[in-house]
Amino acid sequence: MKRRDVVALLGGLAAWPLAARAQAPLGPAGSGFDPRITPARPDIAARQLTGIVNAERFVDGEIFEVTAAQAPVRKKPSPDSGLETEVLKGERITVYDSRDGWAWGQLVGDGYVGYLPASALGPAGPQPTHKVTALRTFMFPGPSIKLPPSETLSFGCRLIVVRTDDTFAITESGGYVPLVHVAPVAALETDFVAVAERFLRTPYLWGGRSSLGIDCSGLVQLALAACGIGCPRDTDMQEKALGSALAPPPDPAQFRRGDLVFWKGHVAIVRDQTTFVHANGHAMAVSVEAIAPAIERIRDEIGAITSVRRLPRA
């Protein structure tokens, strides 16, 4: 099997270029593939990697659905392990191993591999019909906003809605979500910068991907996904996969709304020629900053801009 064919198996990421899945530091099974998006461990790997990576056994995965409002994805099966990313209600994961309360597998959406609490997953049912478009909302156990909420849902959570009335979307599980806070899955936003701006003042959280806490690449991923644009999870992947690079050296005078400015380990979204929006540890929140002083500050902290990427206009 050719390397290009193998890479195409890793993650269901047809929405973004194969270049984004280029070789990175050796994976745990000595595969040469990026371990973040390669479902392989020394003891177990996805069956489609048979003959490609070294593992004691190869197994077929089983698709599960995220039933919790959100759940952590960790590098190791421990609550003390760092947060790699998060999954939201309605998303799916191919599980290859489950033990001691942890499920190990690969996210269907962006191909990320890691450990999730098994309690956050359930059997995969029909595909979701609706998504949460408010920054966050509540699910109520009945048709009244005076009832104690049964769940708090973040932007991007996906639901199966079986019917609606003038006030609520009623889910397959019998939950009631304010109708004004959801939209059909097929409905797309048209301005991903405006979507990112909705997250202003959301706390910064390394690995976060929800309105309760988010990091820089998570903000970009969620905002682009709302517009139907496939996007990998981490900044280095995004820098390879998204748009085309402006000619160096970076000139802020040439920036336009929607450009993505990358540093090593960080990304910001240009709002206009003078400001950008980004989730950042400096403010410990999603914030708007003036471009010129922010570039100087970030250069002192982590280095110079590595590239500026421009997405094609719709």
**Do 87 and 18 belong to one domain?**
yes
Tabulate helix, strand, coil % of the chain (nearest 5).
Answer: 20, 35, 50
Phi and psi at 30, nearest 5°, equal 70, 30
**Do 145 and 219 belong to one domain?**
no
**Do 233 and 157 belong to one domain?**
no
**Do 39 and 94 belong to one domain?**
yes
**How many residues does this entry show for the chain?**
314
Radius of gyration (Cα) for the chain, nearest Å? 20
Question: How confident is the model at residue 105, as a pLDDT?
Answer: 98
| CATH code assigned at 51 | 2.30.30.40
Question: How confident is the model at residue 314, as a pLDDT?
Answer: 61
Question: How confident is the model at residue 11, as a pLDDT?
Answer: 39
Give me the percent of the chain exceeding a pLDDT of 70.
Answer: 89
Q: List the one residue out of 203, 210, 197, 207 whose CA is nearest residue 90.
A: 210
Number of domains in the chain: 3
**Do 202 and 173 belong to one domain?**
no
**Do 94 and 7 belong to one domain?**
yes
d(CA 202, CA 222): 13
State which of 115, 150, 184 marks the end of a domain.
184
**Do 71 and 8 belong to one domain?**
yes
Dump pLDDT digits (tens) for 137-195: 999 999 999 999 999 999 999 999 999 999 999 999 999 999 999 999 999 999 999 99
Question: How confident is the model at residue 279, as a pLDDT?
Answer: 98
**Do 139 and 93 belong to one domain?**
no
One-character DSSP codes across 190-217: S-HHHHHHTTTTPBB-TT-EETTEE-HH
| CATH code assigned at 227 | 3.90.1720.10
- For 59, 274, 280, 285, 295, the CA distances from 308, given in Å and listed in that order, are 41, 15, 18, 22, 12
Token pair listed for 127: 């595909």
**Do 6 and 117 belong to one domain?**
yes
Question: How confident is the model at residue 9, as a pLDDT?
Answer: 37
Question: How confident is the model at residue 313, as a pLDDT?
Answer: 81
Which residues span the domain enclosing 113? 1-125
The beta-carbon contacts of 145-151 under 8 Å, at least 24 apart in sequence, are 145/178, 150/175, 151/69, 151/175
Dump pLDDT digits (tens) for 215-254: 999 999 999 999 999 999 999 999 999 999 999 999 999 9
